[in-house]
Homo-oligomer: A and B are copies of this chain.
């Protein structure tokens, strides 16, 4: 299928933990599933969103699948530590080949997954059969082209472009957020509603500056340094200058903006 552009390192696992904590309310507000409802989390990764789903829908029945066995191990451990005693049905599987009957679920949840797929529209179409009529799908994605900041420099922008280009080279789409609405619509879902969920951080919100600007976004871009240089997209000096510039957006007088998109749709 495709390669997970961010890799599977320990520092990446830590980045995902910081991201999920800082952004939990922004991303998850409005996602609360009723008691007994059957919820499928598609591509749970290391469990960053799984713990949010469990916390916000304490009486729903959650099935979480991922293609990576080691990510599932992380996720299982994370739930055991953060929400001991909470039950999740874990499954290692390819999202294009899930062993569930048609209409087996009331709700699907898929977050930061479509961006890594060669054919996200096909994924959405193939998942649709798992929903009962009237069931909903919730999709959350970022859009790296939504990042802008002060001070603005072309050098910093070039490092972000490396991440976008690596993701494209791996078959994904780092700009997928802006096209969630047409993706869900063409995949056959109804009542599609997509809204931006915006992070804006300046020095009046130091926790958000640290949690998002530094430890989420800049950390994510920094994580592709070696691959970007190895791929000949940028040289070391330009990379280091660009990242230093990007870090200035977290200093006093700096600002940072990023847009996630959250879409909810229904199977009629």
Contacts and interface: CB of A to CB of B under 8 A. Distances in A.
Interface of A: 143, 145-146, 148-150, 152, 175, 178-179, 181-182, 185-186, 192-196, 198, 200, 202-204, 253-255, 257, 259, 261
**Residue in A146, A194, A202, A257 with the greatest tally of chain B CB atoms within 10 Å:** A202
A178 B255 contact: yes
Contacts of A150: 178-179, 182
17 contacts: A146-B146, A149-B178, A150-B179, A152-B175, A179-B255, A181-B203, A181-B255, A182-B202, A182-B254, A185-B203, A192-B204, A194-B202, A195-B200, A196-B198, A196-B257, A198-B259, A257-B259
A174 B175 CA distance: 23
Contact of A152 (B145, B148, B192, B253): B145
A195 B143 CA distance: 19
Contacts of A198: 196, 198, 259
A140 B179 CA distance: 28
B257 A182 contact: no
**Residue in A149, A194, A204 with the greatest tally of chain B CB atoms within 10 Å:** A204
A146 B196 CA distance: 13
A255 B148 contact: no
Given A148-B178, A150-B182, A181-B204, 17 more contacts: A143-B148, A146-B146, A146-B148, A149-B178, A150-B178, A152-B175, A178-B255, A178-B257, A179-B255, A182-B254, A182-B255, A185-B203, A194-B200, A194-B202, A195-B200, A198-B198, A259-B259
A148 to B, nearest CB: 5
A195 to B, nearest CB: 7
Nearest to A256: B178
